Every structure is written in C-alpha cells, then in structure tokens.
Chain A
Amino acid sequence: MQRRLANFNIWTVGAVLIILMLFLPNLTIVTGFFTPSNDNWEHMKEFVLRQFVINSLILTLATAFFTILIGLSLAWLVAQYDFPFRRFLKWALILPLSIPPFIGAYTYHGILNFTGAIQTVLREGFGMELDPAYFDIMNLPGAIFIYTMFLYPYVYTITQVYLSEQSASLIESTRLLGKGPWRTFFQVVLPISRISIIAGASLVVLEVLNDYGVVKYYGIQTFTTAIFQSWFGLGDLDTSIKLAASLMGFVIVILLIEKLLRGRRQYSYFSTKVRPLQLIPLSGWKGFAAAGYGMLILSLGFFIPVIQLVDWTILTFGTIPMEEFMRYVQNSVFVAGLSAILIVAFALIVGNFARMVQGKYTKLLPKLTVLGYSIPGAVIAVAVVTAFVALDGYLAPLYLAIGLETTLVLSVSIVLLLAAYIIRFFAIGYNSIETGYDKIGTNFRDASRLLGAGPTKTFFKVDVPMMKGAIISGFILVFIDVLKEIPLTLILRPFNFDTLSTKAFQYASDEKIMEASQASLLIVGISALAIVIFYKILEKEMD
C-alpha cells in the first residue's frame, strides 16, 4: 500500500468506488437477517423451511451428479478418442448452454403433454392411449432432467480443456502400463480431473440455486420461489430478506465445500494453450456408440427443443404484433448491451487497479467483486431493492428540492435493474478482462509511462487496444447471460418494461407455450451465435 501511495489518483478512487458499489448491497442481506422476525418468518421456519432445504438439496445434488456423469464422460471421449463426428461434437456439445433452462422446461413440457408431439403420434399413429402420468415432467425428476440437459456443458467444457492438455502424458503412460480404458478412467482420469470437475459442478450448483424459471413453472417449492412468494404474494420484504440470507448461507456452505475439495490448487478455465494429443481411434461399433451417445445428448439438449421451438414459431408467426415484438427485442438488446458495456468498463478499471496494487490486503479487494456471481439472483434482487430504497431515502430532500412529487426515484427506475445485473454478472466480465491483463503484463504500461504518457493516456492508448480479444469475449459472455436472465429482470424491471426473456416466461406461465416460442427462439439463436463466435475468438487467440 505504502509504496504505491504515489499512484493514488482518479483511477484508484474509481476502482475502490466500483468495488464498494458491487459489494455493499449484499451486506444489507446480512444485517436484514438479524432484524426482529415477524409471524410469516416464524411460520415459514416452523412448517415449510425444511421442505425448501430438502428440495433445494435434492435438486442440487442430483443435478451435480448427472451433470458430472454426462459432462465428464463426454469430455473424456472427446479428449481421448477419435470417432465419427468428433470434431463437430467437440464444440457443438457446448450449445445446450444457449438454451436457458426455463425455456427448455416449458418446451419439454409442450413436447410431452397430452396435445404434444409424442402423445399425439402415439395416439393417432399407433392408437396407443397411455397413462398421461408417464409423460408428466413437471416434478422433481423432471426438473433434474432439465437442469442436467442444459447445464452439463459447464462440466464438459472445463473438464475437456483440462483433459486435453495437462493430463495427456499421464493418461498415455497409464495406457502403456497396460491398464484398460475403464481402469484408466476410474484410476487416473477421475482423480486427476477432480479439480476441473469440482469447478464445473459448482457452477452448475450455483445456477440451480439461482434458477427461478424452471421450479416456478414446474411448481416446485425452493428458496427462490419462496423469496418471490413472500415478497409479492405476502408483501413481506422482511421475510424475503431472511429467506435470502438463509439461501446465502447455503451458498456459502457450498463455496466452502468447493474450496475444501479443491484444496490449494486454483483452477482457471479458458486460459491455457491446447496441445494436440494422440487420439485413439475407436473403430466399428465402438465408434458408432461414442458418436451415438454424443449425438443423443446433443439432441436432447439442443436439437429437439430447437426444432420444437422452430415448429411453434412457424405455427404462431404473426400472432404477436411485429411492433410489440420489436420493442421487446429493443429492450433486451438495450439492457444486455448497456450492462455488458458497463461491466467491461468497470472490469477494466478494477482489473487495472488489481494489477497495480501491492499490499497484501488491498490485493484482496478486487476479489470481493466476484462474489456476486455466486449469489442467486433473487437474493441480489432483495439486496439491491433494500439498498436503493435506503438511497432514495437519503436523497429524498434533494428530490423534493428540485420539485419532484415522489421520493421513490432511483428505486423504480431502470438503474435498479442495471445495478443488479452489474452485481450479478460482474465476475463473468472480470474473469475475461483479468486474463487479458495477465497476458499483456506490465511492461507495455511501464514503457508508456516512461514515454511521458500519464495513467489515463496509457489506459486508452495502450491497455485497451491491446486487450481487444478479452474485451470482446467479456462483452459477449455478459450479453448472453443478461439476455437469458429471469429472476432479476422479473422483479426489478420498471413498470411495463418487458424483455424477450420476461415475455417468454410470462407466455409460458400463462400456458401460451406456442406464443412463448418466438421470443425464446430469438434468445437461443443469439446466444448460440455468441457462443460460436466466442469459441472462434478463443481458438484464434490460442494460435
């Protein structure tokens, strides 16, 4: 700290302010938890809290198990073996990530329900009248299936990258020692990829805890739905805060478990170079089995829902007035674009701060900002609203002084929503920017300073242009995450402000599944395209 005091300037001030802005709202949750409780909370604690905990536990554990099973097995096949369609599957297996789970949830419900494709074919094609209960997906196992199909890519990508590099020689030498593929898998692959599996699975678990769309649609009670219910159903924000704090406690336990399991090793994904590895060809039925397995997962996680969405879109095209639809598109692009720009800009400032400061404790400051990603959207929503209502309270005299009628200004504006997005998704942008800074190092910066450029000129003329790749990928990742976002947008949007995702969610909730498809298809299309572009950029950077 002392040594760098001389660098105390507008950039440092900016960085510290951003860090505080990202971190402080979450404190309101902690303080809120210790306020005196009311009847609703006592009632919930006594009768239903247990059920929330059990449901959330089942959902997270089962989803973690199945995503690891599928993600790891696919990663292992792609990293070690050569089989038909391998090159295509290698990147295509990431595509299910472009379908937000709630869209997958209502699409599968639509496919499987009485009037849906499967039952209709069975009934009319084969005259089979089966018990509809067989096709009921709106329950815990159904939700687990949905989460697994659309979240396994987190485990798959991280593990696949990992298995393709560090461990190559290790696996090869195990093979040379004459162990068969199964023993290699259980005795070597599984233990060495532990860290990447944990990294991927904890992302999955955090996504499951964050999810509101799927559980709400399938009628499963979890923490997230309870937060909504007590807030909007009972109008009881205090109880929401207490629920949110409990959920955060849950998340903290998970993060601690992750830390414990991971040990002292850090795992950073998307960062290292891939070195080509000798693939083992799988011939005959083995090759077809591997390709078939990959294709099956890809179909369930991507092709089937997309085909269904396309079908519905064609059927309902024109039912939503074009003008109205374009407004949703505009709103979506506006909030996603603006928050992505702000996040990248803030991440650049904080990242720059992070690499310049030297103190032991100041170095920890930037780490605070990435907490937001582990905090479920519903919790952030509660925190941000609490913070903004308080802020409006402070600013009330100012509002009255400039002649406004109301003292609730910021807390009903779009600023609220943008602030929440920034807190929640900052880590996504920051990861990318931090990697960018790591890559360019500090020499160029030093050179620029010595040539007479101050910190500001250096930032714009040297740092930013050199980090184009990191900036673009950070922007894309945040953009698609905001585009798909549900709970924050639903709670915090200004009156009458709809985006593609809130509209898709509302149509689906009103059982207008087909109408929901147009907005959904657009979200999926944009996300899929962004993912493809992202991986192309990444591949180029790796060369």
Chain B
Amino acid sequence: MFVAIEDVSFSYPNTQAPALDRFTLDIKKGEVISILGRSGSGKSTILRLLAGLERPKNGRLVIQDETLFDDKTFLQPEKRGIGMVFQDYALFPHMTVGANIMFGLSDMKKADKKKRMREMLELVELEEYEKRYPHQLSGGQQQRVAIARAIAPNPHLILLDEPFSNLDAELQGKIRKDLREILKKANITSIFVTHDEKDAHILADRIVKLKDGKMDFVGRPCDMLDTFRQEAIAESEEVLKSKPVVHV
C-alpha cells in the first residue's frame, strides 16, 4: 500500500468527544480520494493529522514504507513530503506568485528552481502571472497558484481542503476539470475534502464518508450512489410514516 492510515484516533485538547475515532484507510499510488461529510465530522482533522500539524493519540501512519507516526515516531511536517492546499490558500502575501511556488524548492540550484516554477505555472496555465502578488489575482487564480505551490516539490501525497468553496459555480466547474487533469498528469496521489457530492463524483477514484469522526462509507462513486438511493428511500418512507395525514 502506498499510504496506510491504521487505527488513528485523535481529540483536540480540552475537548471530550474524539474528532477522529479509530480511522483506517489504505490508498494506492496515484489514487484520488475524496472525503465527504457534514460540517464538523472530522474531515479537516484527517488532513491535519496526515500533514503532521496535529499529533494522533494512537494508531500508525505510513507513506511508501516510511513511518510518519507510531508509538515511537513523530515526523515533523517539513520532513513528510506532503503538499497541502489550504481552504483559504494561505499564499504568502509578501511574496510574488513565482516566489511562492519556489518557496518549497529549497535544495535546488537557482536556475533549476526557476525552471521548475515555470513548469508549474504552465501546468496551471498562469505563465504570465509570475511577478504578481497574491492579492492581485482572482480567487480561482489564487487557487491554481496554491496547487502549483503544493505540487512543485514533488510531494508523495497532496491534500486539498475544500478546494472549491471560495469559487462561484461557473469557476467551480472549470477548476474541477482542471484539477483532475493536473493531478492525473502529474500522477500524484491525493486526498481532497469536500462537502459537495458532485465534486466527489467527478473527481474521485474512491469516496470516504465520515460521520462524527467515524468512517461511515468507503467505496467507488458508483457504489455510493446505490447506498444513497437506499438511504433516501428509507428516509422518505419514514417521513411518510410519521407525517400525520391532514384531511380538509
């Protein structure tokens, strides 16, 4: 398995309920995973645990035979080789688009860094924007820069937290297609969080559904449609049953 998440639990300090409860998932190389779930179900928490921004209570995290976390190890985020696209992009406002993308390319020669940065800009179709600052870009452009920045250091795994939430509907459609193309072109394993089913169906190879910090469903998008239909039918039947019939 390329990425292995084994039995990981976590709760935030000073809270009772676990934000993530005995979560297990294996991911193949190049696979695109989508995490779906209600607000507060623990989606962002999974990403933060993988990235090393939070420390699990127990369990094990492995990427490509390297242990990121277990009883004895905790690899710092900068050593994990994981890229992340934040919900608000977190582009450094004091750096140009070019400098943002080159930030993660530390042990390279200057010329190589430039070259890689240009490749990335080409990939996200923003060649002319190298010298701009983040605040001079539209929301969609910022997002593409954030993706380019995360991909540039060639991470094993890329995490995207609600990548479409700040975009208008039209842009969402376009970016969704772009993103799938970019990810597949670069053959990067990725996990993205969303609360929009449509995103998940179009983009993902597999979907994980979370409920209150627990795994609720995992499978291919088409499998999910079935369970969904069943759920919906069950729900509507219940509604029908409980609804008092009103006679006029």
Smallest CB-CB separation from B13: which chain A residue? A358
Residues of B near A444 (CB, < 8 A) are 90, 92
Smallest CB-CB separation from B48: which chain A residue? A446
Does B171 count as interface, using CB distance less than 8 angstroms? Answer: no
Does B78 count as interface, using CB distance less than 8 angstroms? Answer: yes
Report yes or no: A449 in contact with B55, Cβ–Cβ below 8 A. no
Residues of B near A465 (CB, < 8 A) are 94
Does B120 count as interface, using CB distance less than 8 angstroms? Answer: no
Instruction: Select B88's contact among A443, A451, A466, beta carbons within 8 Å.
Output: A443
Report yes or no: B55 in contact with A3, Cβ–Cβ below 8 A. yes
Does B83 count as interface, using CB distance less than 8 angstroms? Answer: yes
Report yes or no: A450 in contact with B77, Cβ–Cβ below 8 A. yes
Q: How many residues of A contact B (CB 8 A)?
A: 23
Does B51 count as interface, using CB distance less than 8 angstroms? Answer: yes
Smallest CB-CB separation from A3: which chain B residue? B55
Instruction: Select B106's contact among A3, A4, A452, A466, beta carbons within 8 Å.
Output: A452
Smallest CB-CB separation from A446: which chain B residue? B53
Residues of B near A141 (CB, < 8 A) are none
Report yes or no: B78 in contact with A453, Cβ–Cβ below 8 A. yes
Does A265 count as interface, using CB distance less than 8 angstroms? Answer: no
Residues of A near B81 (CB, < 8 A) are 452
CA distance A6 to B150 in the complex (A): 24
Residues of A near B209 (CB, < 8 A) are none
Residues of A near B92 (CB, < 8 A) are 444, 447-448, 462, 466
Known contacts A359-B13, A446-B90; A451 and B54 CB within 8 A of each other? no
Report yes or no: A3 in contact with B93, Cβ–Cβ below 8 A. no
Does A116 count as interface, using CB distance less than 8 angstroms? Answer: no
Q: Which of A4-54 contact B (CB under 8 A)?
A: 4, 6-7
Smallest CB-CB separation from B56: which chain A residue? A3
Report yes or no: B153 in contact with A6, Cβ–Cβ below 8 A. no
Report yes or no: A449 in contact with B88, Cβ–Cβ below 8 A. no
- With most chain B CB atoms within 10 A of its CB, the pick from A358, A447, A453 is A447
Known contacts A3-B55, A6-B74, A6-B76; A448 and B82 CB within 8 A of each other? no
- With most chain A CB atoms within 10 A of its CB, the pick from B55, B90, B149 is B90
Does B84 count as interface, using CB distance less than 8 angstroms? Answer: yes
Report yes or no: B94 in contact with A466, Cβ–Cβ below 8 A. yes
Report yes or no: A448 in contact with B103, Cβ–Cβ below 8 A. yes
Residues of A near B52 (CB, < 8 A) are 449
Smallest CB-CB separation from A466: which chain B residue? B94
Q: Which of B16-61 contact A (CB under 8 A)?
A: 51-55
CA distance A451 to B82 in the complex (A): 8
CA distance A367 to B149 in the complex (A): 37
Instruction: Select B84's contact among A358, A450, A454, beta carbons within 8 Å.
Output: A450
- With most chain A CB atoms within 10 A of its CB, the pick from B74, B77, B88 is B77
| Nearest CB of B to A353, in Å | 16
Does B14 count as interface, using CB distance less than 8 angstroms? Answer: yes
| Nearest CB of B to A327, in Å | 39
Smallest CB-CB separation from A448: which chain B residue? B103
Residues of A near B80 (CB, < 8 A) are 450
Does B86 count as interface, using CB distance less than 8 angstroms? Answer: yes
Report yes or no: B55 in contact with A450, Cβ–Cβ below 8 A. no
Residues of B near A461 (CB, < 8 A) are 103
Does A264 count as interface, using CB distance less than 8 angstroms? Answer: no
| Nearest CB of A to B16, in Å | 15
Smallest CB-CB separation from B76: which chain A residue? A6
Does B104 count as interface, using CB distance less than 8 angstroms? Answer: yes
CA distance A450 to B84 in the complex (A): 7
CA distance A457 to B74 in the complex (A): 20
| Nearest CB of A to B245, in Å | 48
Report yes or no: B103 in contact with A451, Cβ–Cβ below 8 A. yes
Interface membership of chain A positions 429-452, coded 1 if the CB is closer than 8 angstroms to chain B and 0 otherwise: 000000000000001101111111
CA distance A7 to B75 in the complex (A): 10
Residues of B near A360 (CB, < 8 A) are 14
Residues of A near B51 (CB, < 8 A) are 446, 450
CA distance A6 to B51 in the complex (A): 14
Smallest CB-CB separation from B103: which chain A residue? A451
Residues of A near B88 (CB, < 8 A) are 443
Known contacts A6-B55, A451-B153, A466-B94; A446 and B78 CB within 8 A of each other? no
Report yes or no: A3 in contact with B103, Cβ–Cβ below 8 A. no
| Nearest CB of B to A359, in Å | 7
Residues of A near B78 (CB, < 8 A) are 449-454
Residues of B near A447 (CB, < 8 A) are 84, 86, 90, 92
A-B contact pairs, 23 of them (CB 8 A): A3-B54, A4-B55, A6-B55, A7-B76, A360-B14, A443-B88, A443-B90, A446-B53, A446-B77, A447-B86, A447-B92, A448-B92, A449-B53, A449-B76, A450-B53, A450-B77, A450-B82, A451-B104, A451-B149, A452-B81, A453-B78, A461-B103, A466-B93
Q: Which residues of A contact B (CB under 8 A)?
A: 3-4, 6-7, 358-360, 443-444, 446-454, 457, 461-462, 465-466
Given A443-B88, A452-B78, 20 additional A-B pairs, CB 8 A: A3-B13, A3-B54, A4-B55, A6-B76, A444-B90, A446-B90, A447-B86, A447-B92, A450-B77, A450-B80, A450-B84, A450-B150, A451-B78, A451-B103, A451-B150, A452-B106, A452-B153, A453-B104, A454-B78, A462-B92
Give the 10 A-B residue pairs with the shortest CB-CB distance, closest first: A451-B104, A447-B90, A449-B77, A6-B74, A443-B90, A3-B55, A465-B94, A358-B13, A450-B84, A449-B78
